[in-house]
Amino acid sequence: MDEMRKEVLYSRAEIQKKVKEIASRISHDYAGRELIIIGILKGAFIFMADLIRELSIPCMIDFVRAASYGAGQETSGKVVMTKDIETSIKGKDILIVEDIVDTGLTLAYLVGWLKERNPRSLKVCAFLDKRKRRKVDFEADYVGFTMDDGFVVGYGLDFNEQSRYLPEVYLVKK
Ligand code: 5GP
């Protein structure tokens, strides 16, 4: 699979700069508050690891895993949570960290699912945003790069579980 045709979309340096920018905004917005960051497995793990190490405020972390069943690279709309958080979020400030927002279905579902537990606040940080592909009205609070259509791999993102380890983000060529 790693022989697939692909080109660098965002370099290590561009990613590092962007992560620092987002971390600085989050650190400013949550100063003096008790922040719990919830990463969506598996794709967000590298972005989340980089992001929390650039924060200048303390945070706690947890993870969820969302599966959406559909054909090929498309989300079906039916989202199933296959791993829950292990912390109580009632009355806490929550920031969900996701790799990429595409149709918006996964995050729209997850936000509703977590809000039922009555956090004090709940915001979303997405590393990439394919804004034009939305099927539901969903807006992330912090976005790294807004990109056009196209399938990307690397920096945690996979194609059939391959390529997550690549430090850059690549656009897969058809
Ligand atoms: P949504 O529910 O917003 O349509 O889908 C979000 C999920 O679809 C992401 O968490 C990611 O797993 C997957 N996804 C969407 N676009 C891409 C892409 O370009 N590359 C990869 N590797 N995954 C994607």
CA dihedral over 69, 90, 53, 19, signed as positive or negative? positive
Q: Does any ligand 1 atom lie closer than 6 A to the CB of residue 101?
A: yes
Q: What is the pLDDT of residue 46?
A: 98
37 bridge partner residues: 61, 95
Q: What is the pLDDT of residues 110-119, one digit of tens each?
A: 999 999 999 9
In angstroms, the CA 161 to CA 159 distance is: 5
Provide the annotated active-site residues: 102
- Per-residue pLDDT band at 78 (split at 50, 70, 90): confident
Q: What is the pTM of this model?
A: 0.94
CB of 100 shorter than 6 A to ligand 1: yes
CA-closest residue to ligand 1 atom 11: 100
Q: What is the mean pLDDT of residues 42-64?
A: 98
| Class of domain 12-147 (CATH, top level) | alpha beta
> What's the gap in Å between 136 CA and the centre of ligand 1?
14
